[in-house]
Amino acid sequence: MKNLSYAILALSAFFYTCKAQGTSVLSKEEQLYRPNYHFTPEKGWMNDPNGMFYLDGTYHLLFQHNPANSKWGTLHWGHATSEDLVKWENQPIAIYPDQMGYIFSGSAVVDKNNTSGLGDGKNVPIVAIFTYHDMDKEKANRIDVESQGMAYSLDKGKTWTKYSNNPVLKNPGIRDFRDPKIFWEKDSKQWIMVVAAQDRQHFYGSKNLKNWTFLSEFGKDFGGHGGVWECPDLFPIKVEGTNEEKWVLIVNINPGGPNGGSAAQYFVGDFDGKTFKMDDVFTKQLEKEKVVWLDWGRDNYASVSFDNVPENKRVIIGWMSNWDYSPDVPTEKWRGSSTIPREVTLKRSKDGYILKNIPVSQLKNYEGKTVKKEINLGSDKKLIGKGEIDLSKAVIDVDFKKMTKGVYTFTLKNSLGEQLIFGIDNNKRELFVDRTKSGKIDFKNSFADRISKAPLAKSYQNAKFKIVLDKTSIEIFFNNGEKVMTEIFFPNEGFSELSLSTDTTASTVNFNAHQLNIK
């Protein structure tokens, strides 16, 4: 009893000292699962990224947020800012729900020419259009639950005012009618809104962001229809190595993803200011592939792009989770994180188009200590031993040469024997991520009931992996982002070792592990 009182006394003194010195004691949950650099809200729930834009040196990330607790509910738009897309700072909540409903997903634009008339002559208006989701109407089983509302900021995104005449787009009699993505279309000199309507996309046009006219519909007979279409994006992009411009339409879908649950698909074509039409080469590609996926892992959803990024770059960010299990993942104080922002480029090959994803170049600025190895891979090779590199904040580049038709398996381990296994099966021609032994998995059956796979068009002799690691996530960029897999995991102790093995004959592997100096 006496010992217990001493222990309590000592513990309180310790906490008191920490408080007095301004240091905080991280809970076990924070230590184990708060990502080192992927964005998370300070507390509460987060899902989709919303209304992302760049202005005067700052990137803004707004997001679906329930500040009251770590479950989905009473949606606000949370807000975070960054100077380099890597280090994020939480900001006060941007947009609050009101009597018209929860604030569901949407987008924001920098209205440089004040087409909206919302500017005050001094400050450029940032205009956000989001979905109002009326819970009372939902409960009453009505169709017109969702409409599009507007809010704007005249102080570079710090504070937001709701437009006085909301909604700017009423519900047209479609139950799922949400997630407007708006952008300026320079040739037709108008704003375009692409909005998810059940399992299609609808396009609207406007001169002033306030009055919207229906233009067209896309998607009835194309792509995946395993669930509702959500969070679309549409943007022009140059085909790599040419001056040709194509349009990419991103369509998030839930459920119906390639490895279960939520995922993002895309279409390549042309947009004439009114209609999106698939490109002929892409049409053939789609006949073969059925659905063209942006990311084959289970944890990249609601990926859409930032407005107004310098140098015309197209940067996307996603919510690193999946509706199959997102409410159950084992964090309490906060729930949900974002992917690393990615730059996308469009490549055309003989088989069709590929929207390549690579981490934004700013991530490189954080690379510190590097462990380099060149190995002749026979059997199991330890790549990173305990203490060499902190694998909870690292980028690992692996370059394979002279591969044969076998399986190349990476294993991340901790001292508890928990493992995250991933790699390439050059026989079956697929990439894989296996989190079935990765630690806490039983919070929801669907979290680790399968090994995620991404088919490859061929077997490779040479191949490259860029592996981006945080405490609870892996993002695999294969061959310069031609195929991507993003997955989360929850080990009971951080992974401290990485090894590589193969069941086939030797191949040469160039290995560079970079410590990220972050936090």
Is residue 302 at the binding interface for ligand FRU, with CB under 6 A as the rule? yes
**Bridge pairing between strands 452-455 and 430-434:** antiparallel
Residues belonging to the chain: 519
Is residue 48 at the binding interface for ligand FRU, with CB under 6 A as the rule? yes
Instruction: Compute how many residues bind ligand FRU; rule: CB under 6 A.
Output: 13
Nearest to 107 by CA among 27, 31, 183, 177: 183
What letter would DSSP give residue 338? B
Is residue 104 at the binding interface for ligand FRU, with CB under 6 A as the rule? yes
* Least distance from ligand FRU to the Cβ atom of residue 104, Å: 3
Is residue 231 at the binding interface for ligand FRU, with CB under 6 A as the rule? yes
Let me know if 179 is a catalytic residue.
no
In three-state secondary structure terms, 20 is helix
What letter would DSSP give residue 307? B
* Least distance from ligand FRU to the Cβ atom of residue 406, Å: 39
8 A C-beta contact, residue 482 and residue 463: no
Is residue 111 at the binding interface for ligand FRU, with CB under 6 A as the rule? no
* Least distance from ligand FRU to the Cβ atom of residue 79, Å: 16
Catalytic residue among 48, 179, 199, 470: 48
* Least distance from ligand FRU to the Cβ atom of residue 429, Å: 31
The HSE-up count of residue 394 (CA atoms within 13 Å, CB side) is 26
Distance CA 367, CA 395 (A): 8
Identity of the residue, 176 or 289, whose beta carbon is nearer to ligand FRU in the bound complex: 176
Q: Which of residues 421-460 bind ligand FRU (CB under 6 A)?
A: none
* Least distance from ligand FRU to the Cβ atom of residue 101, Å: 11
Q: Provide the CA 502 distance to its chain's centre, in angstroms.
A: 31
Identity of the residue, 178 or 202, whose beta carbon is nearer to ligand FRU in the bound complex: 178
Is residue 178 at the binding interface for ligand FRU, with CB under 6 A as the rule? yes
The HSE-up count of residue 27 (CA atoms within 13 Å, CB side) is 8
Distance CA 319, CA 313 (A): 20
Distance CA 294, CA 297 (A): 9
Question: What are the CA-CA distances from residue 408 to residues 140, 282, 425, 433, 454 (Å)?
Answer: 54, 31, 6, 12, 15
Is residue 230 at the binding interface for ligand FRU, with CB under 6 A as the rule? yes
Distance CA 414, CA 420 (A): 9
Identity of the residue, 197 or 485, whose beta carbon is nearer to ligand FRU in the bound complex: 197
Question: What are the CA-CA distances from residue 395 to residues 405, 465, 517 (Å)?
Answer: 26, 10, 11
* Least distance from ligand FRU to the Cβ atom of residue 472, Å: 19
Strand partners, 95: 77
By CB neighbour count within 10 A (0-12 exposed, 13-18 middle, 19+ buried), where does 72 fall?
middle
Is residue 47 at the binding interface for ligand FRU, with CB under 6 A as the rule? yes
Identity of the residue, 262 or 515, whose beta carbon is nearer to ligand FRU in the bound complex: 262
Distance CA 258, CA 264 (A): 9
8 A C-beta contact, residue 190 and residue 177: no
Nearest to 172 by CA among 150, 195, 144, 194: 144
* Least distance from ligand FRU to the Cβ atom of residue 393, Å: 27
Among 40, 70, 105, 259, binds ligand FRU (CB under 6 A): 105
Among 131, 362, 411, 472, binds ligand FRU (CB under 6 A): 131
Is residue 322 at the binding interface for ligand FRU, with CB under 6 A as the rule? no
Among 51, 59, 64, 199, binds ligand FRU (CB under 6 A): 64
The structure tokens listed for 258 are 């390639």
* Least distance from ligand FRU to the Cβ atom of residue 64, Å: 4
Is residue 338 at the binding interface for ligand FRU, with CB under 6 A as the rule? no
Identity of the residue, 88 or 104, whose beta carbon is nearer to ligand FRU in the bound complex: 104
Distance CA 516, CA 213 (A): 48
The structure tokens listed for 319 are 């919510």
Among 111, 179, 279, 425, binds ligand FRU (CB under 6 A): 179
* Least distance from ligand FRU to the Cβ atom of residue 326, Å: 9
The structure tokens listed for 119 are 């500017």
Which residues are catalytic, by number?
A: 48
Which residues in this chain contact ligand FRU in the complex, by CB under 6 A? 47-48, 64, 75, 104-105, 131, 178-179, 230-231, 301-302
